[in-house]
Amino acid sequence: MIIDPAKMDFRDLHHLLAGSIVPRPIALVSTRGENGVDNVAPLSSINIACVKPPMLSFSLSTRRRKGGEKKDTLRNIEFAKEFVVNVPVVESIAAAMNKAGAEYPDHVSEFAETGLTPVKADLVAASMVLESPVNFECRLVQISEFGEHPSISSLIVGEIVRAHIKDEFFANGEPQTNKMRAIGRLLEPYCRTSEIFEFDVEYTL
């Protein structure tokens, strides 16, 4: 089948991309708003933007309302210029991650609604997620917008200024990903990383 993206609407394009680029890692991005409320949002667009300096990127795709209303995560990052990327989402907090994806008023904290535990970060105001194996404190580098109203995507790039990793997931100078039991995102369902394999000779990807 040959597909012309120019002839597809937002929903069909989303399904084409999200159903093809799989599995995707899931991050819990935590922010603090101007009102002082902590926000946590699950995002499956997280990626490494640069290694040195260490930078992460993720996108927020929103169909904005007539008034141009933005999601809490984007508004909070625009205000505070900082955030925390909590990774990976592991099986033990999968249900909480799913609940965090619901729409809540900006005066409601997803920490309280989901049972996730906020922990004070060292360098940024946003709280870290205690249950996450790794927490990256980030400062905003840039926000780039793509698309046309009302379907606008904001690409956010942040520099890691402090990293935290639980001792049980770190050995020999590197994270022990095989112990984390991370989950990934497909189109709608999720997947587990319980079956891991290696090649005798590995090449840099």
- What is residue 146's predicted lDDT score, i.e. its pLDDT? 93
Give domain status of residue 201, yes or no.
Answer: no
Angle formed at CA 17 by CA 12 and CA 22, multiple of 5 degrees = 135
The DSSP bridge partners found for residue 107 are: none
11: DSSP letter: H
Within a domain: 156: yes
Residue 119 belongs to some domain of the structure: yes
Q: How much is the pLDDT for 205?
A: 62
| Alpha-carbon 122 to chain mean position | 20
Give the Å distances, CA to CA, from 161 to 77, 138, 139, 171: 15, 6, 7, 21
**Low-confidence stretches of the chain (pLDDT beneath 50):** none
Instruction: Confirm if 28 and 129 have CB atoms less than 8 A apart.
Output: yes
Please tell me whether the overall predicted TM-score, pTM, comes out greater than 0.85 for this model: yes
16: three-class secondary structure by DSSP: helix
Query: Per residue in 42-54, pLDDT tens?
Result: 999 999 999 999 9
Per-residue confidence (pLDDT) for residue 64, from 0 to 100: 58
Residue 133 lies in domain:
27-186
Beta-strand pair 27-32/47-50? unpaired
Distance CA 101, CA 91 (A): 16
Q: Give the total number of structural domains in the chain.
A: 1
Q: How far apart are CA 183 and CA 94, in angstroms?
A: 8
CATH, residue 175: 2.30.110.10
